[in-house]
A and B are shown apart, each in its own frame.
Chain A
Amino acid sequence: MSFEPKNPMLKWVETRLPITGMLHHALYEYPTPKNLSYWWTFGSLAGFMLVVQLITGIVLSMHYTAHVDLAFDSVEHIMRDVNYGWLLRYMHSNGASMFFIVVYLHIFRGLYYGSYKAPRELLWWLGLVIFLLMMATAFMGYVLPWGQMSFWGATVITNLFGAIPVVGDTIVTWLWGGFSVDNPTLNRFFSLHYLLPFVIVGVVILHIWALHTSGSNNPTGIEIKDKQDSIPFHPYYTVKDLFGLALFLIVFSAFLFYAPNWMGHPDNYIPANPLVTPAHIVPEWYFLPFYAILRAVPDKLGGVMLMFGAIAVLFALPWLDKSRIRSARFRPIYKQLFWIFLIDCVVLTYIGGQPAEEPFILVGRIATGYYFLHILVLLPLVGMFEKPKPLPASISADVLPKKSSDKEASNA
């Protein structure tokens, strides 16, 4: 680390704790491939959304009451009486959806460009850990307003643990803190919903650390070979990410200000009632693909295992994908499979929101089967038999000579 601050104060600090040097390295000089497309913006957008959720969440919790008799009313108090409370709450609830949107795009970008392959396996794993923590946090957050979907969603999801042989029921009682979803459940969910985001922050730091150790992947999937291939993060990617952020905020604002309840469910404006079950219990949209996989199996334990398995197999991806070529740009067959897999995930999302009846059950089973077929069978096979296109000599060789012919590169 060659950074030397000019300010004597900073110099004094730097010799004792090289924090400015670390930040300078991470945000300023970090050598970044010069050809990153806008698909690489979603990582920093996810980081931005984490901060938005933290800030709005901390302020909301100053006005929220985690008690079964008061939670619903305290949310309405926020919506009506707290200054800009409606803005904070809609930012937080729509922010959760936005967070998942950018993270899903970030994940699919990783899948397309093979960002999970050596030497980035740990980086990929840490990302999946963040994703799991996000799901846990979002699920518990959705319970807090204590509406009908909050209550019944919590009941359905916590009951899944009852499928575990022998100790299932004991675990469920332990999770609930009682014999049904009740006040102790709400209290611990609030506590954990406040805790987990800070755990996410910790894992995000590890994620960025791992990223800066192996360096960013790029649309060609080949590593930086010399100085020609890389540019400093600042100002090139700071300004590019800021432009991406501004565009993203327009989309966020469109939902926030003009359709704040569109991604929610009307039933969650009905206070929780343990005696009345909603006609269809559906989770938030970002859980729908996993919900579809859960329901694809008639057996409860099987469904639960398959649902967790759907994420578990992603951890094995770096070893399941046998191809040594990263980017789908040079993998003609994998490229097709990627898009089919993406469509399969959209189908699962749709099925997850439908009632459990035909033809949705059958379609859900086929889509679930294909999900695992793609990851466990097609991916290893394609890697063995696919004939990749010739790779460019280097990143700059890919970008510079045919600037006008390659749209992706000219944007980078």
Chain B
Amino acid sequence: MLKLIKTLSVAALLTVVSIAGAQAAGGGIELKSATWKHEGLFGTYDRAAAQRGLQVYQEVCAGCHSLRHVAFRTLADLGFSEAEIKALAKEATFVGGPDDDGEMFDRPGQPSDKFPSPFANEKAARASNGGAFPPDLSLIVKARGGFENYLYSLLIGYDDAPEGFDLPEGMNYNTFFSGHKIAMPAPLSEDGVEYSDGTPATVDQMAKDVTVFLAWTAEPKLEHRKNMGMKVILFLLLMSGLFYAVKRKIWAELH
């Protein structure tokens, strides 16, 4: 048994190293890292930060980026009240219908609606953004190597291009973007939003807040998952102990 565990852990280690190596292959630039409260075995989303992050998304990102997988009603998970959610949803306008005359009409949003997209389609989005397509942000944290730290680094990574760097017209220099040429202009500026809870809206603060919010949109069931995992693993530990005892007892008669 001991030998088996030893061999298995060596094998696991080797596999981890080889897979981790495979995943690291894409990166290259050292990302800025921050502490995220939702990391770790018991981590939960920082509600205040996520709520501020929603504000940043709405006032800064939503002009170009959609959030098409996220329904307003799910904001309840971040501590928003039903009334707040209804009010938020109502600000958006959706095309409803057809009515009994076959006409489409405008209607206010409801909690069951998903966040509205800023552009009618990809072509319209490209036309307004110098040919670039602002990606949907629902899953952005899970869809980029480096995850939270990548998004955070990208948002604070704008800088002047170094001497001799060939930056085409309409592009911006970003330390952490692959190739350093990014179509998105620096989205965050000092006091770009006014936080209702009085938190000073520095670029770093806003970048962190919107990252927490988008981590939640990417993995909304994280807290439920970790919570269940703890119970399941405790149960399994108990069960292993019981099975081991039973196994010892049954096999004892043989020896």
Contacts and interface: CB of A to CB of B under 8 A. Distances in A.
Given A246-B239, A270-B135, A350-B22, 18 more contacts: A90-B225, A239-B243, A239-B250, A243-B240, A250-B233, A253-B229, A253-B233, A257-B225, A257-B228, A258-B41, A288-B22, A349-B18, A350-B21, A353-B18, A353-B22, A354-B25, A407-B2, A411-B1
Given A239-B243, A353-B22, A73 B236 contact: no
B225 A280 contact: no
B60 interface: no
Contact of B1 (A38, A242, A250): A38
Interface stretch (B94-102, B138-146, B183-191, B207-215): B138-146
- The 9 A-B residue pairs with the shortest CB-CB distance, nearest first, are A353-B22, A257-B229, A350-B18, A269-B143, A246-B240, A243-B243, A86-B221, A269-B139, A269-B142
Interface residues of A, number: 53
A73 B69 contact: yes
Majority secondary structure of chain A interface residues (helix, strand, loop or mixed):
helix
Interface string B5-24: 00010010011011101110
Contacts of B230: 257
A39 interface: yes
B29 interface: no
Interface in B15-51: 15, 17-19, 21-23, 25-26, 41
Nearest to A355: B25
Nearest to A148: B143
6 contacts: A80-B69, A236-B250, A250-B233, A288-B18, A346-B14, A354-B25
Interface stretch (A58-66, A181-189, A259-267, A383-391): A259-267
A231 B254 CA distance: 9
Contacts of A235: 250
B237 interface: yes
Contacts of B144: 266
Given A246-B243, A280-B26, A352-B22, A346 B221 contact: no
A11 interface: no
A136 interface: no
Interface string A31-63: 000100111000000000000000000000000
Given A38-B1, A79-B221, A285 B22 contact: yes
A27 to B, nearest CB: 16
Interface centre among B4, B220, B224, B237 (most CB of A within 10 A): B4
Interface in B117-176: 135, 138-139, 142-145, 147
A221 to B, nearest CB: 17
B246 interface: yes
A132 interface: no
Contacts of A398: none
B56 to A, nearest CB: 21
Contacts of B233: 250, 253-254, 257
A253 B3 contact: no
Contacts of A353: 18-19, 21-23, 25
Nearest to B240: A246
Contacts of B22: 282, 285, 288, 350, 352-354
A34 B142 CA distance: 49
